[in-house]
A and B are shown apart, each in its own frame.
Chain A
Amino acid sequence: MDNSQYFVLEGEGARDDVLGRLKKVLPLTGERKAAKKQLFLDTYDHRLYKKGFLLTNEDSRLILRDTGDGTSLSLDLHAEGGMPRFCRDLPECPFRDNLRSLIDVRALLPVVGVESRVTHLNLENEDGKTVAHINFEDVEVGDDGADKKVIHLLEAVPVRGYVEEFEKLTRYISDLGLAPAEGNIFSIALGAAGKKAGDYTSKVSVVLDTGMPSGEALKIILGSLLETMRKNEDGIMKDIDTEFLHDFRVAVRRTRSALTLIKGIFPESVKEKFKAEFAGIGRKSNELRDLDIYLLRREEYTEMLPPALRAGLDPLFEIIAREREEAHREFALELASDSYRRSIDTWEKFLNEPDAPGGALPGADAPVIGLAKLRIRKRYKKALKLGKSIDGSSSDRDLHTLRIECKKLRYYLEFFESLFPAGEIREVIRHLKQLQDNLGDYNDMHMQQERLKGYISKMNASENEGRDSIAAAGGLISELYMKQKEIRSEFHDRFEEFSSDEMKGLFDNLFSGN
């Protein structure tokens, strides 16, 4: 309820007219003018905006505003040595903690700059108490130059506890014939600059129709995944943050998974060719992702170890950081290579030309709903069968196989989510996710231990530094092993929920028939 409401004014002249008419009916006081220059910052996927927060750089301060309740936190950048890129660049303070809970490991990027001239007025009640504010804003959006745009806005700002007064105010403004604008200053300014706030998502966000031909639906899904890959290439090459690579890799894995659906719809040769190519791209990025995860875990690892062993982590992380630099250089070269570009271009060509020679097979015309139900049913059955065979004697390999199977089921559910009732399919995904988290964490603990063992063999035990690092790695391995055992002990509960009669019923309801 504490959100501001914006209205768009037609041209600069409209302000005096609107202000004059509002003043006739409302006690508006305390008129004052101000000018401000703001640079809006957000992550690539606009996490702050999506969670209802705005981060601006004004003068030498960073201001984090909660648009939900109007509160804000600020930080003096002079004192902190300039603009931070990550939360970890900031000293420990409430500002950092709040920001971290919103953006996690993503980098802050400049999104849009605005310069506003603001005329501010208060709406007072009979006690002289301010019960709402209004701001007339002439906003210049964008950098200097030709693409600079000016928009004129009226912002009505509520004060907590004065709901009726705010409603009265916005009613008066609407009665003057002004249209309420969607969103806040960030999305409005971005709109004026020809962009859309929060339009990137790493999720599969396709909307399909049950009667849509399977071939068309698959190309929509695959096309959206290709778009996600493309959008993340630049961020990977410029090494902005680790999540570009993460999103890119998920899109690659999803593409490989979607390719397994094309049997009978597109020629087998298409599947074989591109599955191999995307597998190659994924494989070439494995090392970089593994090392990214290590570096992100530095703090967590430090916490895990007793203080006496912590110093041994430094040389270990130096090695990891060096390896990571090298892995990044290699993968960036890969993305820039002719062979990668050729793969992606041929892939795009295939997706854009449905009737190319050797194109669709008869299955391409069947309604997608049948395909979706059949393939999800099969995956679920397979996952259940694998899961049931897991017992105390099962190997890491068995759990790994189940993990991969669950991942494929998850992808199928996400590809076709829009074909099914939202509440029910979200419920299925939620239970599956709990099982996946368990399997994922288990695998993760295993991989980390293996890698640490690898580092131990590289360390020189005859030097002090080497001995410290071996001790630290040893300490971590035993901690990770304990955690892994604990995760394993929770597996059966997670799997029981996933294979319960209730879940089976849900699957039957959603995915039987065709």
Chain B
Amino acid sequence: MITLALYSMKGGVGKTAAAVNLAHLASAETYRTLICDLDPQGASSYYFRIKAARNFNSSKFVKGGRFIDENIKGTDYPNLDLLPSKLSYRNLDLALDEMKNSKFRLRTIFREIEHEYDYLILDCPPGISLVSENVFNAADYILVPLIPTTLSVMTYEKLLEFFTKKEYDAGKLYAFFSMVESKKSLHREMMEKIESDGRNILRTRIPYRSDIERMGVYREPVTAFLPQSDSARFYAGLWEEIRGITGKGGTEG
């Protein structure tokens, strides 16, 4: 199982949209895929019309084992399951803190399902917290959506500093441009500058498009309800790059 985290310190950068569409694309290629919604807002759960069971909560989640097994739900797409989040995930830090080896807890509980899935995709909450540090330890690749603005780029620099200071493996970090408006000269200039810095920047740029926003209305991945659209094609390009990096071959699962 390969674990991909969609993560950003900053909110509203297109994390969930990327998580949902990448997961759908992976599953469509018959990779057994699980999205784990870690965000208390539950946006990815909402996109798949999935609600967690009433008695599920953050303390049960961090216990893992049967609590995870019983709460994974099949989406409307073959090979794609989802572990929904709850509002109580706002206390996920506290729940993790109570566990032994608290920074590695997510890694431990995900190991128990590693034979069931080819890809585990983590839709992470924004911020830097114990949850994020768990994600840094659990993920094989951390995908960071980057809006090409000064503020967004500054936040990314901070993340890199944090990785250096805490000795996390910055080689896991891959950024990609998100919500790009190529008509804006600022966006174009920022992208050029960052790409010339030569870090792990993926080539595909996800544009700002209203059909991506409309996912909230249709409650389906854009790659499913508008597979021929521009937006879907960009996600397909991004997926192809990521699949290549993770070492999986063509369309066979």
Contact = CB atoms under 8 A, between A and B. Distances in A.
Interface in A24-67: none
Give the interface size bracket for B toward A: 20 to 34
B30 interface: yes
A130 interface: yes
**Which applies to chain A's interface (DSSP): helix, strand, loop or mixed?**
loop
Interface stretch (A158-166, A174-182, A309-317): A158-166
A129 B48 contact: yes
B249 interface: yes
Interface in B43-87: 48-51, 70-74, 76, 78-79, 81
Contacts of A94: 118, 252-253
Given A71-B32, A160-B73, A95 B81 contact: no
B72 A160 contact: yes
Most buried by A among B72, B78, B251, B253: B253
Contacts of B219: 128
Given A127-B49, A129-B48, A74 B73 contact: no
A207 B118 CA distance: 44
Interface in B221-253: 249, 251-253
Contact of A128 (B32, B49, B70): B49
Give the interface size bracket for A toward B: 20 to 34
A74 B252 contact: yes
A93 interface: yes
A401 interface: no
B252 A93 contact: yes
A94 B32 CA distance: 12
Contacts of A162: 73-74
B252 A161 contact: no
B49 A76 contact: no
A109 interface: no
B253 to A, nearest CB: 5
Interface in A140-181: 159-162
A129 B252 contact: no
Given A74-B252, A94-B253, A129-B49, A161 B72 contact: yes
27 contacts: A70-B74, A72-B30, A72-B78, A74-B252, A76-B251, A94-B118, A94-B252, A95-B252, A95-B253, A127-B49, A127-B51, A128-B49, A128-B219, A129-B49, A130-B76, A159-B73, A159-B74, A160-B72, A160-B73, A160-B74, A160-B81, A161-B70, A161-B71, A161-B72, A161-B74, A161-B81, A162-B74
Interface of A: 69-76, 93-95, 122, 127-130, 159-162
Interface of B: 30, 32, 48-51, 70-74, 76, 78-79, 81, 116, 118, 219, 249, 251-253
